[in-house]
Every structure is written in C-alpha cells, then in structure tokens.
Amino acid sequence: MAHSELYAQIDRYAYINPFAKTSPVTKMLFALSALIISVSSPSPVVPIIVFAAATILLLRLAKIPVHFYLDMLAYPTVMLALSCIIIALFFGTGEPLTQIAFPWFTWTIFKSGIALSVATFLRVEGALSCLFFLVLTTSITDIFITLRRARVPKVLVEMALLIYRYIFVFIEVAEKMNTAQKLRLGHSGWMRRIRSLALLSGNLFIRTLEQGERTLTAMNARGYDGNIRVLEDQPPAKKTALAGIIIFDIVLVLAAYLTLNVGVL
C-alpha cells in the first residue's frame, strides 16, 4: 500500500467506523488515559493489557480489518524493534547476562538492559495501540473540537487543522510531480533520480508558501477574522461510558502495583 493511500484509509475509517458517531470526549479520554498509564507503568503487564484492550476494541467493535491494523502496526514496530535491539545489546548495568570476550575488550550484555529493552518495546506498543484506536475511530474534526473545548491554545489547534487538510493536498501535488517526472524519464539512473528529487522538493517548498497565501486569501474572502469557527454537533459523552473508562483506568493502575515485581527475566 502506498503511503498516501494508508493515510487516506486511516481517515476513511475514522469517518465510517461504528464508533464514528460516539462522543469524541469518551474516545479521547479512553485513548489518552490508557496511553499515559501504559507508558508510565513500571510493570510490563499493564502495557500488554492496554494493547489487548485497544486491539480488541478496534478489531471487534470498530470493525477495522485485521490486515489493515497489522499494516499500520508494522511500520513503527520494525523501527521500534531495531531500537530495542540496540538497547538490549548496549544498555544496562549491574548483573551481566552474558559476556563475550574479544581480544581487545569484553562485551557485556546486562540483564537490566534486556529488561529495559522489553519494557520499552511493550510500553511503546501499548501506546501505539491507543493512538491507533484514536485515529481510526475519531475524525479529525471531532478531535479538534474536543481539543478546543479542553482549552488547548487556539493557535495550536487551528494550525493543526490546516496542516491536516493541506498534508493531503501536498501528498497529491508531490505524487503528481513525481509521476510527471517519471513519465519524462526523470528517474532513469541514480544521479538523475537525485536531481529530480531535489527539484521536486524545492518546488514543493515554493508551492507550500504560495498555497498558504492563496488559502488565506480564500478564507478572507469568506469573512475570516482570525477565528476558525466550526459547527459543533458532537453527541454528548455517555455517563456510563465515562464511568467504564475510569474503572478501566483504576484497574490498570492497580494492576501496575500488583505486578510491580514481575520481572522480564
């Protein structure tokens, strides 16, 4: 799947999934609280619970196809795994797990390094599943409106809103220019490919500036006065859902305490 297609597909699910019409407050509260608990949990058990919960919700209730979810997970997981291998091999202190003797030095792999590596891996995967839950079930409009209600500074929210919209415009432009270059054989040979890429990036930068100007003009023409107003018609959060999330969070925190001593090794 092409990158841009993946992004667009994420967006599509956000608008059509069975959770699309539930309160964004509920979904964001669930995702963010679970994310925070997951990354700050000292025990490896909690991130696993979080990952399982978010994944089951996504696959079972939000009806996200398994292969799509795995596709989404694959990119960050590969990167994460590489980083965690580095952590396992080169980090840690204290009790060594094994030592490899080289003529000029001894390379020690520590137990604590392995533990740190596994813990990091699990925490990040737990956090990822929360984020994926959020982006796959909640449309950007809903997220913006909720952030604004939560009094996140206006500049940040409005900038994010515009960036979100124009990311897609630029992916489109970049892909068109890329295709146009290919069709005129701009990619035959390594040097030419580099040159084409440089041209494309330069052009894209200039287009970005121009686009910004034109968009502002167009917004002005419709009475923009420095405030982006949106129609708010999100359903209110259900009390029962909120209560459920709070109970889930309490369970997570308890689990973190109870499993404090569960080691990886």
Q: Under the rule (CB under 8 A), what is the footprint of other proteins?
A: 8, 11-12, 15, 139-141, 144, 161-162, 164-166, 168-169, 172, 211, 214-215, 217-225, 228-233
Give dist(CA 45, CA 233) in Å, integer: 39
The pair of three-digit structure tokens given for residue 173, joined into one six-digit string: 């432009």
Residue 3 CB, shortest distance to other proteins, in Å, is 14
The pair of three-digit structure tokens given for residue 172, joined into one six-digit string: 């489109």
Judged by beta carbon, residue 95 or residue 172, the one nearer other proteins is 172
Residue 180 CB, shortest distance to other proteins, in Å, is 17
106 - beta bridge partners? Answer: 101
Judged by beta carbon, residue 103 or residue 233, the one nearer other proteins is 233
Instruction: Give whole-number Cα distances, 129 to 34, 52, 71, 116, 120, in Å.
Output: 10, 8, 13, 20, 14
Residue 232 CB, shortest distance to other proteins, in Å, is 7
Cβ atoms 100, 119 nearer than 8 A: no
What does the DSSP 8-state code read for residue 65?
Answer: -
Residue 54 CB, shortest distance to other proteins, in Å, is 24
Cβ-based neighbour number of residue 162 at 10 Å: 14
Residue 78 CB, shortest distance to other proteins, in Å, is 27
Phi-psi region of 182 (alpha: psi -120 to 50; beta: other; left: phi over 0): alpha
Judged by beta carbon, residue 120 or residue 141, the one nearer other proteins is 141
Residue 112 CB, shortest distance to other proteins, in Å, is 46
Give dist(CA 116, CA 136) in Å, integer: 30
Judged by beta carbon, residue 4 or residue 77, the one nearer other proteins is 4
Phi first, then psi, for residue 228 (nearest 5°) are -90, 115
Judged by beta carbon, residue 75 or residue 168, the one nearer other proteins is 168
Judged by beta carbon, residue 95 or residue 210, the one nearer other proteins is 210
Cβ atoms 129, 55 nearer than 8 A: yes
